[in-house]
Amino acid sequence: MPLTLPPLIDALRQRLAEEVSPEAGAARTFFAPGRVNLLGAHQDYVGGFVLPCAIDRGTYVVASAREDARLTLRSLDREPALELDLRSLPGASDARFGWGNYAIGVLRAIREEGIELRGMDLVIGGDLPIGAGLSSSASLSLACALAACGIAEQEMPRRRLAECVRRGENEFVGVRCGILDPYACSLARAGHALFIDCLEGTIEHVPFPTESLSIAVCDTGLRRSLTDGRFNQRVGECSSALERLRQRWPELRALRDVDTRHLELGRDLLDPVLEKRVRHVSEETPRCRRGAAALRSGDLETFGAAIDASHESCRRWYEISCPELDWIADRGRELPFVLGTRLTGAGFGGCTVALLRAGSELEYREAVEAPYAARFQRRATVHFFSAGAGARELDPIAS
Ligand code: GLA
């Protein structure tokens, strides 16, 4: 007897069958996860180190091929639905396309990489909170890219696919994000964190001790969009700091090469805001390396302390935190079973990630949700995730 489809995929197929093609039974299903970033805040676009895990939630795309060159895009929970001609995809993003901008951006990017797109109908849905710092955008783009390659019966290596996701966001959507999210969502391995050197482009799968540690994500309920300008502002500050420091040290390859000596001797080159940003990067770079080494060797106390320190640096130097995120991080420090807590993703709201000793999940939820609601008159939601695998096509029967 075939396994029952999870209700979400069932709903996607039903929508495809009702609105597009009654043969939706033959449709294929693709999945791309979200991610949490354990260490390395805003380090990808400065050539630093990051340490994310993919999570077991993300974006699902049910796709079926068409005979013509048209592309239809529908989302279970977002407007608008779009119908476009693949031979003349829009050349610039448009607010009227809404979430569809991510899909169009990445499809343009994979076509530039030589994938010959085929007409297709896509219905999209997911179980990831949107705009919460869990990489809902990269997850959406990647799931669409994977579906497009699948329908076109063409393979693209995972890293190139990830690069296309980034290009789509950088060049089409207009967010200057780095490789953290696309790499994590594309290259992750279940039960592992992914240590990425964003300057060299190298990756290492570091085993994550799933039996002894739990990943708790607390959603503040505050939403932000990376297109609102604050994210790009940080990227701009970092590139302008690098440009100024290079006047004295032209050998600096990226901001991650800056250390305390440069900061001492280069003060006159930086204004107080840029100095704070550089301080964050110069501390976060060695912290992320030390944290990854601690995870590798099973020194979970040191790993947790690095996560706490990263939050402090985000709050003090990078100024991407807010009272809600700080409250959750501070609460974590009072709880003996929490090894470390920090904001995850871009900040300015969204989620925190906390590492807990396995078995303390309910205690953590109780210690955070109700007191948070009392303090902020707003609901926070705690979720528990395991370190999941990267994007993939789901088995037609088991999906
Ligand atoms: C967002 C961006 C990433 C990264 C993080 C901050 O998620 O998309 O590229 O910069 O913020 O670490």
Q: Which two tokens stand for residue 60?
A: 């699902």
When the pLDDT of each residue in the chain is averaged and rounded to a whole number, the result is 95
DSSP 213-235: EEEEEEE-S----GGGSHHHHHH
| CB-CB contact of 328 with 352 (8 Å) | yes
Percent of the chain with pLDDT over 70: 96
pLDDT of residue 5: 61
pLDDT of residue 163: 98
Residue from 56, 77, 85, 181 carrying the catalytic annotation = 181
Q: What is the pLDDT of residues 171-180, one digit of tens each?
A: 999 999 999 9
Q: Is the pLDDT of residue 75 over 70?
A: yes
Phi-psi region of 317 (alpha: psi -120 to 50; beta: other; left: phi over 0): alpha
Best mutation site among 177, 226, 255, 318 for ligand 1 pocket (most ligand atoms within 8 Å of CB): 177
pLDDT of residue 148: 98
Mean pLDDT of 159-163: 98
Q: Which two tokens stand for residue 392?
A: 């993939």
Q: Is 345 in the pocket of ligand 1 (CB under 6 A)?
A: yes
Q: Is 169 in the pocket of ligand 1 (CB under 6 A)?
A: no
Q: Is 162 in the pocket of ligand 1 (CB under 6 A)?
A: no
Gap from CA of 180 to ligand 1 centroid (Å): 6
- The Cα 11–Cα 16 span in angstroms is 9
Q: What is the pLDDT of residues 249-269, one digit of tens each?
A: 999 999 999 999 999 999 999
Q: Is the pLDDT of residue 354 over 60?
A: yes
**Looking at ligand 1, which atom is closest to the CA of residue 177?**
9
| CB-CB contact of 157 with 113 (8 Å) | no
Q: What is the pLDDT of residues 284-342, one digit of tens each?
A: 999 999 999 999 999 999 999 999 999 999 999 999 999 999 999 999 999 999 999 99
In which element (H, E) is residue 288 found? helix 272-297
Question: Which residues, in sequence order, are CB contacts of 110 under 8 Å at separation 6+?
Answer: 117, 145, 148, 149, 156, 161, 164
Q: Which residue has the higher pLDDT, 1 or 158?
A: 158
Q: What is the pTM of this model?
A: 0.95
Q: Does residue 308 have an active-site annotation? A: no
User: Which of 3.40.1360.10, 3.40.50.720, 3.90.850.10, 3.30.230.10 is the CATH number of 7-207+389-393?
Assistant: 3.30.230.10
Question: Which residues, in sequence order, are CB contacts of 271 under 8 Å at separation 6+?
Answer: none
Closest Cα to atom 10 of ligand 1: 42
Gap from CA of 355 to ligand 1 centroid (Å): 20
| CB-CB contact of 117 with 86 (8 Å) | yes
Percent of the chain with pLDDT over 90: 92
Q: What is the pLDDT of residues 19-51, one digit of tens each?
A: 987 765 679 999 999 999 999 999 999 999 999
pLDDT of residue 2: 43
11-20, 116-125, 221-230: range with highest mean pLDDT: 116-125
Gap from CA of 75 to ligand 1 centroid (Å): 24
Question: Which residues, in sequence order, are CB contacts of 44 under 8 Å at separation 6+?
Answer: 50, 177, 178, 179, 180, 196, 198
Closest Cα to atom 7 of ligand 1: 345
pLDDT of residue 4: 54
